[in-house]
């Protein structure tokens, strides 16, 4: 037992350390513009309480951050194309930081704190939602036979860069470039419409992505990634579906865990709280999802067989794990890992436009081949398959094996019917397509 005076001294020291709460600092500020909202992110040196309110005439948003001072500049934010006219700051109650946003138009603000995660600091996130001029409704086509809709989701974005590889290559950029190519490739095909879930450098929470796919009434949701692995020599593409049980391999479990952390990095806020009509809330993956799951596994296999022709595969079969972004009760969903960005060889290929093009083309062909085999009832493809499928005009980039896969016929049958002695084809040439083998 220490003498009383020593214990008293220790107590005094504790009290002194605890008395002045450490003031927080704003160490950085970033702005991300999304199609429907603007996100401001404040990096903090530690957690801080904040209050947010709006004023009108003129419209302003005011944020008071308790016991915090600004150590970053607010002058260089890219305000073009946002509802923000100007950003000012000052002190409030002597100790608090007050940030005022002068607005060009009224918005709906929402704010939340993001706790420290990995290398990322505490953050204060402010989302300014545009007030929709008129609710944009997806106009159904005039014809009764609808297009097959593919939702193409580029993983990560904004605050969440995803994995990074040698030379500073970032997953969020590479996958957006590939997703854009896939979207274009599929959208150009008769009977198909493809839409991007994320169209720029901003973050969408995982549940928000699932929701967007359902709002598009997508026939398929494809999430595109290029992840990191602990070992730099890990390589190869992979195609994943959700699992109702465990993961099919350690890699699959590891990747799903990483992907599911996205919301902690990118910032999901209180999405679940204000989505009262979100039927996903209580949805568990159970037997009622068997049909969706089977369709997902089927598309995944079709995509995997196409990717095999342009890149090494990590595993020769479709893998499953509990990816949050694939948990849709009624939209078949797959996740494509285009390669490991931590592998120097694959990182170089993933940022190469000509490889991106080839990869996107094969990914699209895998998707289209699946729907050619099983067009959903009520679609243009279901009604016109037999007529449309009988002839194919060779386009730039077509290969005989690609065409064979797309129409689900063999190369041999294709050559035989068209009296070809070699696999050489030319742009503009018309091929007659044999009846599907299956
Ligand atoms: Zn990813």
Among residues 54, 52, 53, 26, the alpha carbon closest in space to that of 41 is found at: 26
Number of helices (H), then strands (E), belonging to the chain: the values are 12, 17
pLDDT on residue 268: 81
pLDDT at 83: 95
Query: From the CA of 245, how far away is ligand 1's center (Å)?
Result: 21
**What are the Cα distances from residue 189, in Å, to 56, 192, 433?**
49, 6, 17
Distance separating alpha carbons of residues 154 and 377, to the nearest angstrom:
28
- What number of CA atoms fall less than 13 Å from residue 125's CA on the CB side? 26
Residue 216's pLDDT is what? 95
CA of 322 to the centre of ligand 1 (A): 14
pLDDT at 228: 87
- Considering the domain architecture, whether residues 317 and 348 belong to the same structural domain is answered as yes
Q: Tokens 């001072």 identify what position? A: 69
Integer Cα distance of 114 and 124 in angstroms: 6
Considering the domain architecture, whether residues 97 and 206 belong to the same structural domain is answered as no
Neighbours of 346 (CB within 10 A): 22
> Across residues 66-93, what is the average pLDDT?
94
Q: Which range is least confidently modeled, 50-59, 272-281, 392-401? A: 272-281
Specify the pLDDT at position 89: 95
Sign of the CA dihedral running 155, 177, 251, 214: positive
**Contact between residue 92 and residue 52 where contact means Cβ atoms under 8 Å apart:** no
Whether the CB-CB separation of 360 and 353 falls below 8 Å is answered with no
- pLDDT for 60 equals 95
Residue 299: asked if its preceding bond is cis (omega within 30°), the reply is: no
Identify the band that residue 163 occupies on the pLDDT scale cut at 50, 70 and 90: very high
In a domain, 259, yes or no: yes
- Report the distance separating Cα 418 and Cα 51, nearest Å: 72
Q: Which residues pair with 129 in a beta bridge?
A: 37, 108
Inter-axis angle of helices 290-307 and 353-373, nearest 10: 130
Torsional sign, CA 402, 407, 409, 411:
negative
Quick one: what percent of the chain has pLDDT higher than 90?
55
Closest CA to 110 of 74, 73, 61: 61
Say how far apart CA 431 and CA 391 lie, in whole Å.
6
> How far is ligand 1, taken at its centre, from the CA of residue 172, in Å?
8
Residue 136 binned pLDDT confidence (cut-offs 50, 70, 90):
very low
CA atoms of 24 and 97, how far apart (whole Å):
10
Q: How far is the CA of 137 from the centre of ligand 1 (A)?
A: 30
Interval between CA 175 and ligand 1 midpoint (Å): 9
**Pair (199, 298) in one structural domain:** yes
Cα atoms found within 13 Å of the Cα of residue 73, Cβ hemisphere only: 4
Number of domains in the chain: 3
Q: Can you give the pLDDT at residue 388?
A: 54
Is 255 found in the same domain as 220?
yes
Distance from Cα 283 to the centre of ligand 1, integer Å: 24
Q: Give CA–CA dist 415/431, Å, rounded.
A: 9
From CA 408, how far away is CA 426, in angstroms rounded?
A: 21
Residues 217 and 284 in one domain: yes
User: Is the pLDDT confidence value at 342 over 50?
Assistant: yes
Q: Is 304 contained in some domain?
A: yes
- Burial class of residue 197, CB neighbours in 10 A (0-12, 13-18, 19+): buried
What is the structure's pLDDT at 390?
66
Distance 228 CA to ligand 1 centre (A): 8
Evaluate whether residue 105 is within a structural domain. yes
Largest separation between any pair of C-alpha atoms in the chain: 103
The mean pLDDT of the chain is: 86
Of residues 46, 118, 37, 116, the one with CA closest to residue 83: 37
22: left (phi over 0), alpha (psi -120 to 50) or beta: beta
Which tokens is 25 given?
Answer: 């600092």
Q: How many Å lie between the centroid of ligand 1 and the Cα of residue 163?
A: 7
Q: How many A from CA of 8 to the centre of ligand 1?
A: 54
Q: Both 198 and 299 in a single domain?
A: yes
The answer as to whether 141 is a domain residue is no
Render pLDDT for 15-30 as a digit per residue (tens, 0 to 9).
444 444 578 999 999 9
Query: What is the distance in A from the centroid of ligand 1 to the CA of 246?
Result: 20
Closest CA to 291 of 336, 244, 330, 317: 330
Ligand 1 geometric centre to CA of 108 (Å):
30
- Residue 330's Cβ-count burial label (10 Å; 0-12, 13-18, 19+) is middle
pLDDT bracket for residue 73 (50, 70, 90): very high
Say what the pLDDT of residue 419 is. 84
Q: Residue 359: name the closest of 335, 344, 337 by CA.
A: 337
- Is residue 154 situated within a structural domain? yes
pLDDT at 10: 55
Q: Based on the fold, state whether residues 125 and 184 are members of the same structural domain.
A: no
pLDDT > 50? residue 287: no
- What tens digit of pLDDT does each residue of 213-271 get? 999 999 999 999 998 887 888 889 999 998 877 889 888 998 898 888 898 888 886 55
pLDDT at 281: 43
Structural domain containing residue 122? 24-130
Does residue 386 register a pLDDT over 70? no
Q: What Cα–Cα distance (Å) separates residue 370 from each residue in 75, 112, 130, 163, 292?
A: 51, 42, 38, 30, 14
Specify the higher pLDDT residue, 432 or 64.
64
In a domain, 18, yes or no: no
Q: What is the pLDDT of residue 23?
A: 87
**pLDDT greater at residue 272 or residue 1:** 1
Please report, for the domain that includes residue 71, its CATH number.
2.60.40.3500
> Which is higher by pLDDT, 434 or 134?
434
Q: Using CA atoms of 248, 250, 251, 252 in order, give the dihedral in degrees to the nearest 10.
A: 30
Could you tell me if residue 236 is inside a domain?
yes
pTM exceeds cut of 0.85: no
Are 114 and 249 part of one and the same domain?
no
* Backbone angles phi and psi of 95, in degrees to 5: -100, -20
Residue 190 lies in a domain: yes
DSSP code, position 340: -
Is the confidence at residue 380, as pLDDT, over 50? yes
Query: pLDDT tens digits, residue range 304-336?
Result: 999 999 999 988 899 999 898 998 888 999 999
Please report, for the domain that includes residue 414, its CATH number: 3.10.350.10
Name the DSSP letter for residue 377. Answer: T
Enumerate the β-bridge partners of residue 170: 164
* Residue 294: CATH number of its domain: 3.40.630.40
User: Which residues line ion ligand 1, judged by CB < 5 Å?
Assistant: 155, 162, 225, 227
The answer to whether residues 215 and 352 belong to one domain is: yes
198 and 56 together in one domain: no
Tokens read off for 35 = 């199609």
pLDDT bucket at 274, cuts 50 / 70 / 90: very low
Q: At how many degrees (to 10) do helices 171-187 and 353-373 cross?
A: 50
pLDDT at 276 over 50: no
336 and 196 within one domain: yes
Residue indicated by tokens 């120097």: 344
Tens digits of residue pLDDT in 182-204: 999 999 998 999 999 999 999 99
Note the pLDDT of residue 133: 60
> 80 and 28, same structural domain?
yes
């Amino acid at each position: 037992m220490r003498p009383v005076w020593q214990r008293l001294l220790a107590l005094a020291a504790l009290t002194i350390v605890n008395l002045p709460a450490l003031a927080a600092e704003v160490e950085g500020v970033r702005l991300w513009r999304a199609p429907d909202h603007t996100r401001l992110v404040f990096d903090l040196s530690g957690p801080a309480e904040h209050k947010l309110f709006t004023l009108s005439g003129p419209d302003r948003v005011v944020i008071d951050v308790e016991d915090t001072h600004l150590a970053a500049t607010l002058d260089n934010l890219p305000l073009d194309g946002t509802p923000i006219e100007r950003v000012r700051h000052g002190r409030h109650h002597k100790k608090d930081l007050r940030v005022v946003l002068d607005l060009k138009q009224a918005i709906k603000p929402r704010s939340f704190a993001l706790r420290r995660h990995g290398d990322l600091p505490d953050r204060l996130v402010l989302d300014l939602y545009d007030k929709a001029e008129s609710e944009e409704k997806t106009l159904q086509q005039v014809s009764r036979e609808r297009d097959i809709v593919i939702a193409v989701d580029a993983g990560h974005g904004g605050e969440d860069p995803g994995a990074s590889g040698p030379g500073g290559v970032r997953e969020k950029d590479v996958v957006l470039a590939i997703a854009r190519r896939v979207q274009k490739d599929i959208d150009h095909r008769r009977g198909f419409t493809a839409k991007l879930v994320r169209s720029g450098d901003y973050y969408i929470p995982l549940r928000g992505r699932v929701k967007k796919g359902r709002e598009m009434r997508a026939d398929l949701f494809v999430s595109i990634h290029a992840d990191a692995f602990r070992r730099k020599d890990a390589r190869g593409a992979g195609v994943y579906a959700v699992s109702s049980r465990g993961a099919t391999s350690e890699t699959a479990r590891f990747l799903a865990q990483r992907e599911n952390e996205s919301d902690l990095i990118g910032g999901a806020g209180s999405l679940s709280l204000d989505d009262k009509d979100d039927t996903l809330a209580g949805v568990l993956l159970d037997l009622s999802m068997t049909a969706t799951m089977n369709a997902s596994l089927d598309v995944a296999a079709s995509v995997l067989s196409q990717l095999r022709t342009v890149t090494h595969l990590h595993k020769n079969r479709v893998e499953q794990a509990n990816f949050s972004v694939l948990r849709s009760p009624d939209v078949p969903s797959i996740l494509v890992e285009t390669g490991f960005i931590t592998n120097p060889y694959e990182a170089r290929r993933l940022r190469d436009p000509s490889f991106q093009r080839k990869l996107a083309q094969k990914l699209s062909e895998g998707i289209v081949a699946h729907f050619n085999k099983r067009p959903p009832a009520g679609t243009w493809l279901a009604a016109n398959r037999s007529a449309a499928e009988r002839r194919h005009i060779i386009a730039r980039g077509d290969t005989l094996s690609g065409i064979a896969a797309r129409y689900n016929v063999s190369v041999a049958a294709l050559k035989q019917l068209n009296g070809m002695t070699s696999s050489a084809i030319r742009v503009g040439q018309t091929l007659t397509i044999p009846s599907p083998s299956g």
